[in-house]
Every structure is written in C-alpha cells, then in structure tokens.
Amino acid sequence: MKTCIACGMPMKDASEHAMNDPKKDYCIYCARPDGSMQSFDEKLESMADFIVRTQGFDRKAALRAAEDMMKKLPAWEGCF
Ligand SMILES: [Zn+2]
C-alpha cells in the first residue's frame, strides 16, 4: 500500500489515488480538479483549514502544525 507523498494518508485502493490512478503518488485530497498535485501553499492552507475545523486550533497554530506535518512528507522536500 502506498501513502500519499503530499499528506501521508494511506491509499487503500485506486479510488483514493488522484484521478483514480494507482500510478499517482498523491491522493484525491491533494489533487486539483484537473488532477495535478496541489502546490505547497495550497496544501498548507487546506491542511491548516482542516486542523482549525477538526481540532479547534487558532489559525496561526494550525499553520504551524500543518508545516510540521508537511516537513515529514517527501512531496515538500526542499520547500522549507
Ligand atoms: Zn494526500
């Protein structure tokens, strides 16, 4: 099983890969509507939004937490 290079989510079957394509290394949540991978800034924003919604962090703390998560993911190597 692969994990998404951009958010770390395990992808259990093809439907969780971008464009339902098991050859893609990133998941449906990290893909834009056209199937390309989101940029660093787009992913940082959407991850921070998710943390605010699910964990009730304020936005600044959520952005820091999102950065910490993204630092561990191969897609963003060299972005920090
Ligand atoms: Zn992902």
Q: What per-residue confidence (pLDDT) applies to 61? A: 98
Give the domain range for residue 19: 2-76
pLDDT for 32: 97
Closest to 43 measured CA to CA, from 14, 19, 1, 76: 76
Q: Ligand 1 centre from 68 Cα, in Å?
A: 15
3-state secondary structure of 41: helix
- The SS3 of residue 1 is coil
60 token code pair? 């600044």
CA 31 to ligand 1 center in whole angstroms:
8
Domain count, the chain: 1
CA angle (76, 66, 68) in 5-degree steps: 70
pLDDT digits (tens, 9 = 90+) for 30-72: 999 999 999 999 999 999 999 999 999 999 999 999 999 999 9
- What average pLDDT does this structure show over 16-35? 97
The per-residue pLDDT for 4 is 97
Cα 12 to ligand 1 centroid, rounded to whole Å = 12
What's the CA-to-centroid distance between 58 and ligand 1, angstroms? 23
CB count within 10 Å of CB 64 equals 13
